[in-house]
């Protein structure tokens, strides 16, 4: 089976910035594929290369096995939900949704019928005659979705589609988008800088950094076994020990590794240790209460500030600990994830 | 000082009033006041025998304006010229404004803006008289036609009824060219400003949904540029309606509204008729705006 999207050694250079730097990957048909990374990491440029708004400087972009590297957007069977929704302000909601069929020469009654169907799908049928300016952010988002889906694209591109919504609405839309994707069976390519969004929705996630893919894996894999310091920090908010720090902690030459905050216990200097534990001494810098758990920031004697997630239950043993209190961080040796690269990431 | 600051901070309306009063007084009395005084004159009439102004409200002057064929000719001639100039300006300005707003970047863009505005920084009279020389029988335009062996073409254009004349500088065609040249910046600038406000993502969205560039231009760019075109056309339309210098320096001998106002309130001493003529552009622009509004020119504002 041919991949829905394939990048073969694609680069895109703006001036002296390598926005996309020799990237290769493929997306299977029907997959929910997330491109995750901080701003300027190249994820949006990759999306624009799929849509056709931008053309690769070198390498090839393939859609369904056909090289589209030089094909303009209006000849690609791909549609986009824009970050700012890009709804046409001078058209009604219905006219916006019917725009795709309209420019493809579909008759007026037929395209209205199809547009109404799409508005049913996103539960906005009652707003058909309104202007985009009269809708809420969440409603605009749905119109943008209906407008992009009406052409029955092979691939739907979503560029930070939930970025402008508030938290509650964002969570609702995540669930809705995921179920829509399952129902329609369309390939979704989802660009985001929010690792929670990427992990909760995607089948696979490509983590972008400085124009390259750092790691491409399923969410669980990405979270449990980050390959680089950047992925460990960006995806899991993990503590990273580079080769130097790892060596100090182990007392002998050691590989760089990552350890997630929830795997670290905060102990008093005299508390007993479980077998197979690794420890690092330090002093408390700050404690942030998050409800079910607190995040303890501890400055290691070896230099870095690490954080540990302490449940309320465990926190009872730490009552009376204040900023400046000497503590030990301890974690099971097996919880440390070895990293292939010693780079400090971003 | 501090007490005064506190006073105005607590009473923002006082602050606003103090700020606005002088310009409002100026604008209200000097500007609008004199305009209404002039308009009021149009309801007086001139006594045909004594040539004195009769200061009693009457519609006699307006009757004279709309019934005398010579006066109606002047209004129609000016209106046709204004519409032609506006249409030509819009057609010429659209590609230039599109390029300036959507494609040009950095220095090229600055160069275009300066290029469009530069002619406005020189004296209007210098430009009009320069055009008279360019359009003259022995002028550079006729010379170029002659050098290219196209004198016959120019002659046949000038032989056309209505727009022609003995030379470009004494034809309505020549006047039209000067008007278009003069008012083009007033069309380009608001149009470019409107086009600049069209977000790039709308154009991408249109292409994304399958629209060819020509469809995107027709369905998205043009409707969103219409308020700018409307604003620009109000400038070109009203400037042509009111101008009296260009028709008196370049073109055929027929009168235009502006010239008529100038002549009637000056040498002829018929202030009521001059006032009535100056009401005509105001009415025409109101009509123009309401038609533009009917066609949805301001919907995207």
Q: What are the pLDDT digits (tens) for B97-117?
A: 999 998 888 899 999 999 999
Does the pLDDT value for residue A341 go beyond 60?
Answer: no
Structure confidence at residue B6 (pLDDT) = 86
B36 domain residue, yes or no: no
User: In the prediction, which pLDDT does B131 show?
Assistant: 92
Closest C-alpha to A43, from A159, A141, A154, A148: A159
Check pLDDT > 90 for residue A246. no
- In angstroms, the CA B99 to CA B119 distance is 19
Q: Count CA atoms closer than 13 A to A338's CA, side-chain side.
A: 5
Q: Identify the pLDDT of residue B19.
A: 87
- Say yes or no for a CB contact (<8 Å) between B209 and A51: no
* Spatial CA neighbour of B163 closest among B31, B252, B96, B32: B252
Taking CA–CA distances from A144, the nearest residue in chain B reads B205
Query: What's the pLDDT at A344?
Result: 45
ipTM of the complex: 0.83
- CB-based contact B208 A78, cutoff 8 Å: yes
Find chain A residues with C-beta within 8 A of B211's C-beta: 74, 99, 103
- Of A290-294, A330-334, B178-182, B295-299, give the lowest mean pLDDT range: B295-299
Give the CB-side neighbour count of residue B50, counting CA atoms within 13 A: 6
CB contact under 8 A, B206 and A99: yes
Predicted pLDDT at A1: 64
Residue of B nearest to A88 (CA): B202
CA distance, residue B114 to nearest chain A CA (Å): 27
Q: Does B95 touch chain A (CB under 8 A)?
A: no
Asked if B207's CB is within 8 angstroms of A84's CB, the reply is no
Please judge whether B220 and A88 are an interchain contact, meaning their C-beta atoms are less than 8 angstroms apart. yes
pLDDT tens, per residue, chain B with 301 residues: 788 888 888 888 888 888 888 888 888 888 888 888 888 888 888 877 777 787 888 888 888 888 888 889 999 999 999 999 999 999 999 999 999 998 888 899 999 999 999 888 888 899 999 999 999 888 899 899 889 988 888 888 888 887 878 888 888 999 999 999 999 999 999 999 989 888 889 999 999 999 999 999 999 988 888 888 888 998 999 999 989 899 989 888 888 988 888 888 887 778 888 889 988 998 998 998 888 888 766 665 5
Query: Which residues from A are below 8 Å from B205, CB to CB?
Result: 80, 82, 86-88, 147
In a domain, B5, yes or no: no
Summarised one tens digit per residue, pLDDT across range B46-81 is: 877 777 787 888 888 888 888 888 889 999 999 999
Q: Could you tell me if A230 and A212 are in contact, meaning their C-beta atoms sit under 8 angstroms apart? A: no
Residue B215 lies in a domain: yes
Chain A CB within 8 Å of residue B106 CB: no
Q: Do the domain assignments include residue B43?
A: no
For the cut 90, the answer to whether the pLDDT of residue A48 exceeds it is: yes
- Which of B202, B209, B224 faces A100 most closely, judged by CB atoms? B209
**Which chain B residues are closer than 8 Å to A99 by Cβ?**
206, 209, 211, 219
Residue B301 pLDDT: 53
Split into its structural domains, chain B has a count of 1
- Distance from the A89 Cα atom to the nearest Cα atom in chain B, whole angstroms: 7
> What is the tens place of the pLDDT at every residue in A101-122?
999 999 999 999 999 999 998 8
Does residue B160 sit within a domain?
yes
Considering only CB atoms, B210 lies closest to which of A53, A74, A83, namely A74
Share of chain B above pLDDT 70, in %: 98
pLDDT of A345 higher than 50: no
Q: What is the pLDDT of residues A129-162, one digit of tens each?
A: 999 999 998 899 999 999 999 999 999 999 998 8
Cross-chain Cβ contact B209/A79 below 8 Å: yes
Chain B CB contacts of A140 below 8 Å: none
> What's the CATH number where B152 sits?
1.10.3720.10
Contact B187, B235 (CB under 8 A): yes
User: B299 to chain A: which residues are within 8 Å by CB?
Assistant: 90
The residue range of the domain holding B93 is: 61-300
Nearest CA in chain A to B215: A103
B202–A73 CB contact, under 8 Å: no
A34 bridge partner residues? A190, A205
pLDDT interval class at A346 (50, 70, 90): very low
List, as ranges, residues 152-211 from B with C-beta within 8 Å of A.
199, 201-202, 204-211
Inter-helix orientation angle A167-184/A137-149, to 10° = 20
Count the neighbouring beta carbons within 10 Å of the beta carbon of residue A177: 22
Would you list which residues of chain A are within 8 Å, Cβ to Cβ, of chain B? 51-53, 72-74, 78-80, 82-84, 86-90, 99-100, 102-104, 147-148, 151
**Once rounded to an integer, what is the mean pLDDT over residues A84-91?**
92
Strand order of the β-sheet with A58-63 is A17-27, A5-14, A58-63, A66-67
The answer to the question of residue B131 being in a domain is yes
Put simply, whether the predicted model's pTM sits higher than 0.80 gets the answer: no
| Cβ <8 Å between A74 and B202 | no
pLDDT computed for residue A166 by the predictor:
85
Distance between CA A320 and CA B254 in Å, rounded?
99
Number of helices (H), then strands (E), in chain A: 11, 18
Q: Which residue of A has its CA nearest to B221?
A: A88
Residues B209-235: b if buried by 16+ CB within 10 A, e if exposed: bbbeeebbbebbbebbbbbbbbbbbbb
H helices of chain A, in order, are 43-51, 93-97, 99-103, 108-121, 137-149, 167-184, 195-201, 219-224, 229-236, 243-250, 312-315
Q: What share of chain A in percent tops pLDDT 90? A: 58
Report how far residue B55's alpha carbon sits from residue A114's, in angstroms, rounded to the nearest whole number.
Answer: 69
Please indicate, yes or no, if residue B20 is contained in any of the structural domains: no
Task: List the single residue in A51, A87, A102 with the smallest CB-CB distance to B208.
Answer: A51
Q: Do B300 and A89 touch (CB under 8 A)?
A: yes
Instruction: Examine residue B49 and state whether it is found in any structural domain, yes or no.
Output: no
Tokens of B111: 């160069």
Residue-level pLDDT at B269: 79
């Amino acid at each position: 089976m041919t991949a829905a999207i394939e990048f073969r050694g694609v680069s895109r250079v703006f001036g002296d910035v390598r926005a996309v730097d020799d990237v290769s990957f493929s997306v299977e048909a029907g997959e929910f594929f997330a491109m995750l990374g901080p701003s300027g990491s190249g994820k949006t440029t990759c999306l624009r290369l799929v849509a056709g708004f931008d053309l690769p400087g070198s390498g090839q972009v393939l859609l369904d096995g056909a090289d589209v590297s030089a094909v303009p957007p209006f000849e690609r069977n791909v549609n986009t939900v824009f970050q700012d929704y890009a709804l046409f302000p001078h058209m009604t909601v219905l006219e916006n949704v019917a725009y795709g069929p309209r420019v493809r020469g579909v008759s007026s009654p037929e395209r209205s019928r199809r547009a109404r169907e799409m508005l049913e799908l996103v539960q906005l049928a009652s707003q058909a005659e309104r202007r985009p300016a009269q809708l809420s952010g969440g409603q605009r988002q749905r119109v943008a979705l209906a407008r992009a889906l009406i052409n029955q694209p092979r691939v739907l591109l979503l560029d930070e589609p939930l970025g402008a919504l508030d938290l509650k609405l964002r969570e609702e839309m995540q669930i809705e988008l995921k179920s829509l994707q399952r129902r329609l069976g369309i390939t979704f390519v989802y660009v985001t800088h929010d690792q929670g969004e990427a992990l909760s929705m995607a089948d696979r996630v490509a983590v972008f950094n400085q124009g390259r893919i750092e790691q491409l894996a399923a969410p669980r894999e990405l979270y449990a076994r980050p390959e680089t310091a950047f992925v460990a920090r960006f995806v899991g908010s993990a503590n990273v020990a580079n080769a130097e720090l790892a060596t100090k902690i182990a007392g002998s030459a050691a590989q760089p590794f990552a350890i997630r905050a929830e795997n670290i216990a905060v102990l008093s200097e005299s508390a007993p240790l479980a077998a197979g534990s690794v420890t690092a001494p330090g002093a408390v810098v700050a404690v942030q209460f998050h409800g079910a758990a607190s995040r303890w920031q501890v400055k290691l004697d070896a230099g870095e500030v690490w954080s540990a997630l302490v449940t309320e239950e465990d926190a009872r043993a730490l009552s009376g600990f204040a900023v400046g209190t000497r503590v030990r961080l301890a974690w099971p040796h097996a919880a440390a994830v070895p990293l292939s690269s010693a780079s400090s990431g971003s | 000082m501090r007490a005064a600051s506190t006073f105005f901070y607590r009473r923002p309306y006082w602050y606003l009033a103090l700020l606005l009063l002088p310009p409002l007084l100026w604008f209200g009395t000097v500007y609008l006041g004199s305009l209404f005084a002039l308009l009021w004159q149009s309801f007086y009439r001139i006594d045909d025998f004594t040539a004195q102004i009769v200061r009693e409200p009457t519609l006699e002057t307006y009757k004279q304006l709309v019934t005398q064929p010579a006066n109606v000719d002047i209004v129609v001639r000016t209106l046709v010229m204004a519409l032609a100039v506006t249409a030509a300006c819009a057609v010429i300005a659209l590609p230039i404004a599109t390029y300036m707003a959507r494609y040009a970047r950095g220095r090229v863009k600055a160069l275009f803006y300066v290029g469009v505005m530069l002619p406005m920084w020189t004296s209007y009279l210098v430009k009009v008289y320069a055009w008279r020389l360019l359009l003259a029988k022995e002028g550079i335009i006729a010379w170029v036609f002659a050098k290219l062996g196209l004198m016959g073409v120019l002659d046949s254009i000038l032989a056309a009824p209505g727009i022609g004349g003995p030379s470009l500088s004494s034809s309505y065609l020549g006047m039209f060219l000067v008007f278009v040249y003069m008012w083009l910046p007033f069309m380009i600038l608001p149009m470019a400003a409107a086009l600049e406000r069209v977000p790039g993502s709308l154009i991408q969205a249109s292409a994304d949904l399958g629209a060819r560039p020509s469809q995107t231009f027709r369905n998205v760019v043009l409707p969103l540029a219409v308020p700018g075109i409307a604003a620009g056309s109000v400038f070109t339309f009203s400037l042509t309606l009111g101008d009296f210098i260009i028709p008196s320096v370049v073109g055929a001998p027929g009168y235009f509204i502006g010239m008529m106002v100038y002549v009637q309130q000056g040498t002829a001493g018929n202030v009521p008729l001059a006032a009535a003529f100056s009401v005509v552009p105001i009415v025409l622009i109101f009509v123009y705006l309401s038609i533009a509004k009917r066609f949805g020119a301001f919907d995207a504002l």
